[in-house]
Amino acid sequence: MKRPRIRILATGGTIAGSAGSALRRGYRPGQIGVEDLLASAATLEIDAEFDGREIAAIGSQDIGWREWDALYREITAALEDEAVDGVIVTHGTDTAEETAFLLDLALPAGKPVVLVGAMRPADAVGSDGMRNLANAARVAGDAGAAHRGVLVVMSDHVFAAIDVRKAATGGTEAFRGFPRGPIATVTPTSLDWFGPADRLGRPARFPWPESLPKVMILTAYAGMEADTVGCALASGAQGIVLAGLGQGNAPATVIEALAAAKVAVVRSSRVDQGSVDRNLEVDDDELGFVAARALGPAKARILLQVLIASGITDPAAMQSEFDRR
């Protein structure tokens, strides 16, 4: 049986991080290059063939358009290469959900594309990086991973990009999924899917943009003042995501300022988990707002950026995209 050929695209992060001591708390991300990652993977005797490309060597808090554009182009080339069976992106955990979701919106649901990271640097006691990488290889080389969109592998679980989020600042079990939890469990020697692939034949949802417009996230809090909206607009924001209280709410003066703004407004929630629905406490129909539904503020921002870049600015059309799964 032919061994799967997997391309690893490295961006840095904790999985490539080093503390210089097994017990040191602080560390620097992105210190281990892709060739060293490949060498470490080789010692695990993973049943796959690898090649690698280094996109960046940064912490994911610094990732942005330049890295995303390079990743998209490298992944597209890999998906078009008949010799490549799947792609792994090594990535920091802080913004993994944003990168995964952006790529998921603009890639066809064909060969497996898997993001993987680590919560502990490579030289720490109990480092999870190599186990996560071995798990990601198991997923990326599995025919059952095709036609599921972009996936994220962490802590022996597989998450869909649209569901995944980082829900804890520390610990190897930091990732969760909403509204679905994990869609599979994985170890270096096993993989169990919880259901069939649901995107067979689905093309890319959006074209890859030439750039992403500026969209700001405003977090609501008790006593929030309306001038925060003006500050966002003055900075050149073409859209605003409200990380609102509860069901995406905010003080009345802030809601009024958002309604008066001449930009797209999406209501999400600062609450870790739950949906924001239309027309509950806030009259979205009257005010021209969009409800983020199950997307948290970070992903709502990504989708709003892509929508604006694609020329979709009508609130009703935007809402239909936020309603999609």
Per residue in 94-121, pLDDT tens? Answer: 999 999 999 999 999 999 999 999 999 9
Tokens 């030439």 -> residue? 210
Pull the structure tokens for residue 255.
């809601």
Enumerate the active-site residues: 14
Asked if the domains 5-193 and 215-323 are classified in one and the same CATH topology, the answer is yes
Question: What is this structure's pTM?
Answer: 0.96
For domain 215-323, say whether CATH 3.40.50.40 is its number. Answer: yes
Beta bridge partners of 160: 151
Instruction: Looking at the structure, give the CATH architecture of the domain made up of residues 5-193.
Output: 3-Layer(aba) Sandwich (3.40)
Per residue in 47-80, pLDDT tens? Answer: 899 999 999 999 999 999 999 999 999 999 999 9
Q: Is the pLDDT of residue 242 over 90?
A: yes
The mean predicted confidence, pLDDT, of the chain is 95
Closest-CA residue to 263 (of 291, 232, 286): 232
Distances (CA, A) of 214 to 100, 207, 232: 19, 18, 10
Q: Is the pLDDT of residue 203 over 90?
A: yes
Q: Is the pLDDT of residue 145 over 70?
A: yes
Domain ranges, ordered by start, for the chain = 5-193, 215-323
Give the sheet arrangement for strand 290-291, strand by strand.
215-219, 239-244, 264-269, 290-291
The predicted structure's pLDDT at residue 1: 65
